[in-house]
Amino acid sequence: MSTITTTTPPRSAPSGAGLRGPVRVLVLQHRRALWTAGALALAGVVLLTASVWWNSGTADTYADTGCSYPDTSPRCLAALDDVLSHQAWLRDVLRYVGTAMMVLPAAIGVFVAGPMIGRELESGTYRLAWSQSVSPTRWLLAKLTVPAAITVVAVPVLSAVYAWCRTSPDTDRVAWYDTSAYAATGTLPTASALLAIAIGALAALLVRRTLLAMSITALAYGAVALTLGAVRSSLWPVRTVITPLNATPADLPGGTLFVGSGLMTGEQRLPGETCYQDPVPEVVDRCLADHHITGIYTDFHPASHFWPLQLVATGIVLVLAAAAVALAFRVLRRRHA
């Protein structure tokens, strides 16, 4: 008598695609918003590159005319005016796009706080996912992973395109320390978007109300951004130039972020207005002598300090983002253990 044995194939261990279900549902649920965001990003890239191409073509046309800047003939003046108008257009486009990049992290965070997490918590639809073998931790992880992955891929591309356009030839460049340009280039835009995602998730879990979570996210991220902007110049040591009192002030390097200046008396610093409040020269000279003023100091950040300032700010933002994520999971475990 033969015995028939049935072997059940061993189950494969869960792979790294364990979030495939929740992630797939999330992408399908918000596909319209994702397509809209992608279309807006593509429109921004097209606008930037087209503006640079248009500006470069005008500059090349002006160069082919053989005109030079001092030439005042009507033909050359008209060509020069065309070049300057195109440069002004590109400068405005760079400022508008830079401003949009400043607002982008807040917009991502508000979307996460509202439609992505807050709405589900407020309506109770999250229970459906949790009843289908999706744990609260995996549910929240999917809510964080999808926007974070898109951010890590898309925002650096936008920043790189913006940086290329800002430094392209024949461009009336926005200074590197300009608020819009600084917030749109380097590593800070990506880190800021990740922080906004973390704040949005934490706010939604704490208040469980869509509009309230969106408002808290916008306010909290705005407070962090404003604080970082206020202390930006102190995130890296400044360079200092000391000019003797009766000497001509030294010219600072091009693209310099001026931080501050004042009077030097030995090793001590005094405010610049200490002896210059009175318009009478004799009174000013007496004040300078009484305080033993030896020179004038000037603190500044050269263009080479862009990356140190960016990286320090990025590190601060990423630490805050990690803390917000950790707190979000802690709130989730406490309320839905």
pLDDT at 10: 45
Q: What is the mean pLDDT of residues 319-323?
A: 96
What percent of the chain is helix, strand and coil (3-state, nearest 5)? 70, 10, 25
Question: What tens digit of pLDDT does each residue of 200-223 get?
Answer: 999 999 998 999 999 999 999 999
Whole-angstrom distance, CA of residue 206 vs CA of residue 219: 15
∠97-100-103 over CA atoms, to 5°?
A: 155
Partners of residue 296 on adjacent β-strands: 243, 263
Q: What is the mean pLDDT of residues 97-101?
A: 89
Whole-angstrom distance, CA of residue 299 vs CA of residue 108: 36
Question: What tens digit of pLDDT does each residue of 141-153 get?
Answer: 888 988 999 999 9
pLDDT at 197: 95
Strands 268-271 and 257-265: antiparallel
∠93-94-96 over CA atoms, to 5°?
A: 65
Q: What is the mean pLDDT of residues 250-276?
A: 82
Identify whether the C-beta of residue 62 lies closer than 8 Å to the C-beta of residue 80: yes
Question: What tens digit of pLDDT does each residue of 29-61 get?
Answer: 777 878 888 888 888 888 888 887 877 777 766
pLDDT above 80 for 62? no
pLDDT above 80 for 166? yes
pLDDT at 2: 44
pLDDT at 70: 65
pLDDT at 195: 96
Q: What is the DSSP string of 250-318?
A: PPPPTT-EEEEEEEEETTEEEEGGGS-SS--HHHHHHHHHHTT--EEEEEEE-GGGHHHHHHHHHHHHH
Strands 239-244 and 257-265: unpaired
pLDDT above 70 for 297? yes
Whole-angstrom distance, CA of residue 190 vs CA of residue 196: 10
Q: Which of 316, 44, 27, 304 is nearest to 155 (CA)?
A: 44
Residue 311 pLDDT class (50, 70, 90 cuts): very high
pTM of the model: 0.82
pLDDT at 51: 80
pLDDT above 90 for 68? no
Tell me which of 70 and 196 has the higher pLDDT: 196
pLDDT at 76: 72
Distance (Å) of CA 282 to CA 32, 275, 286, 291: 72, 11, 6, 14
The residues, ordered by sequence, that sit 6+ positions from 78 with a Cβ below 8 Å of its Cβ are none
% of the chain surpassing 90 pLDDT: 31
Partners of residue 301 on adjacent β-strands: 257
Q: What is the mean pLDDT of residues 272-294?
A: 79
pLDDT at 13: 39
The one-character DSSP state at 235 is: S
Q: What is the mean pLDDT of residues 253-279?
A: 81
